[in-house]
Structure 1
């Protein structure tokens, strides 16, 4: 396992030397992001992730969320195609939503699964549906309950060769590791990347299955706010959509997430800004690296 000294610190200089693709042409050249998530009670997670993907440069946005929330989401995010998915009696997205979701997954360049989902069993069914329908080149971002579902099937991605990024918080990392994470998050991210055969972004600690690792050091306490993780997952999906490879997208997303928070500090202080306020800072942060 790499020593902490082997982990590269993410700086503007590092990112400038690892420049993001700049697609030319129409919106199709910047890819299609599909966000699958939400519940009757948490539609905002899908909104935050979807808008973050657009702010990061995705060309086309599609949202698939609980049926009862679809109309409201379509009004709040007029830029997106919004599809309602069947719900359980408790308001969770049902795990057998039918051919329409299959078609959307098949056509997407990036699928972000997890923001706002509830019910681990239904999410597990959704995860398998997405993996079955997605092409081998489709990039996947797994967040929130999708990570819990993955922890119940730890070999699901191993050997698949899929471009996948996992975005756990510490609670989700505990489920994925089947133990409490230690203090060395560089090492924990590396273990997760190897165990699940995917790029991992754990609170700004990024690792790949082949042992490369990076660390973002400018994130502050203000990012620990409701919905912040949804913004990070969508930001990552948007960068993948415009052509970044998974480790590159994870490093850029960690930096842009942290620095967008820093940009809000003069107005709101170190804590007190909202996740939705990060969204408008993303394009400028990316443009001024």
Structure 2
């Protein structure tokens, strides 16, 4: 089991006046669990997404999961692009998902990956999905398909339909991570946003999840952290897919949800800081963030 954070990491059952800053010292104190020597000892990740027009989002998440140290990777993407994804990401197994005539993941597509869901230590659902009906079906059925200890990350288009299937997600309370942008957060709350910290805490309590919203990481028991680094260059296409992939990879390695979200948020932002120096404050690519991740982890002693 991962070592619990100290009081400095914000362990409290009341809402803090200010989120605890996530710093290198805090993360070193909140050390990631030791990993096994085999790929199975480092955890099995399943990433589900990748409609025919947007498989790249799923690949970015998958590569980020490997870059943080996950051991075994499976990608589930639309059938028409599965072969190309398998060639582009040779480190991954690839499962084809049924799709409709327009290349959207179809209703019932989850039936093709039930064995993969049962085996996975951590599942990421959402990157590269682009149609509400098929996505809603996946989200509604995910809790009943994963193992009893599997951790689940919801990102991107999946978060746009979560409010419609809240009851079906109830079994995942305590093992769910959500990474909404501002528009997705408004849909989750059913109202305009007011304050990142209060809003993140409200979403976390509503869904029993760890929530990474903007600079804030919040839990359903009232803890909150602020990542405290990162530049405007992170606001680029694919950046959020890298963050969610880093979270699911750390979960597979054995981190608990709040720890995985705090570590991944900091590492993602610090990778952006490094690229802001090397490339410029704007214009670096999400795929370049993936390459920087292991270097940041080494600096943190992970």
TM over 0.5: yes
Q: 3-state DSSP class of the match of 2:167?
A: coil
Give yes or no for contact 2:16–2:222 (8 Å, CA) kept in 1: no
What residue is the counterpart of 1:44 in the other structure? 56
Please point out which of 209, 214, 217 is paired with 1:203: 214
Q: 2: CA distance between counterparts of 1:209 and 1:14? A: 21
- Residue 189 (structure 2) pairs with residue 177 (structure 1): yes
TM-score normalised per structure 1:
0.96
Please point out which of 285, 293, 297 is paired with 1:274: 285
What residue is the counterpart of 1:75 in the other structure? 87
**Deviation readout 1:78-134 (Å, 9 max, x if unpaired):** 000011111112211113125431111111111100001011121111112321110
Q: 2: CA distance between counterparts of 1:104 and 1:130? A: 12
Q: 3-state DSSP class of the match of 1:157?
A: helix
What residue is the counterpart of 1:286 in the other structure? 297
Q: Which moved more, 1:196-205 or 1:242-251?
A: 196-205
Alignment of 1:1-289 (within 5 A): 2-5=15-18, 7-97=19-109, 99-158=111-170, 160-182=172-194, 184-289=195-300
**Deviation readout 1:179-199 (Å, 9 max, x if unpaired):** 2212x2111100000011111
Kindly tell me: are residues 195 and 25 of structure 1, through their superposed partners in 2, closer, same or farther at Cα, counting changes over 3 Å?
A: same
Give yes or no for contact 1:102–1:129 (8 Å, CA) kept in 2: no
Give yes or no for contact 2:225–2:262 (8 Å, CA) kept in 1: yes
Q: 3-state DSSP class of the match of 2:105?
A: coil
| Residue correspondences, number | 287
Deviation at 1:159, TM superposition (A): 5.8
**Deviation readout 1:110-161 (Å, 9 max, x if unpaired):** 1100001011121111112321110121000000111112111233333644
User: 5+ residue gaps in structure 1?
Assistant: none
Give yes or no for contact 1:136–1:161 (8 Å, CA) kept in 2: no
Deviation at 1:25, TM superposition (A): 2.1
TM-score normalised per structure 2:
0.92
Deviation at 1:209, TM superposition (A): 0.6
Give yes or no for contact 1:190–1:209 (8 Å, CA) kept in 2: yes
CA RMSD of aligned residues (A): 1.3
Q: 3-state DSSP class of the match of 2:225?
A: strand
Give yes or no for contact 2:110–2:138 (8 Å, CA) kept in 1: no
Give yes or no for contact 1:157–1:198 (8 Å, CA) kept in 2: no
Q: 2: CA distance between counterparts of 1:204 and 1:252? A: 13
Deviation at 1:267, TM superposition (A): 2.1
Q: 2: CA distance between counterparts of 1:99 and 1:122? A: 12
Kindly tell me: are residues 107 and 222 of structure 1, through their superposed partners in 2, closer, same or farther at Cα, counting changes over 3 Å?
A: same
Deviation at 1:32, TM superposition (A): 0.6
Kindly tell me: are residues 265 and 148 of structure 1, through their superposed partners in 2, closer, same or farther at Cα, counting changes over 3 Å?
A: same
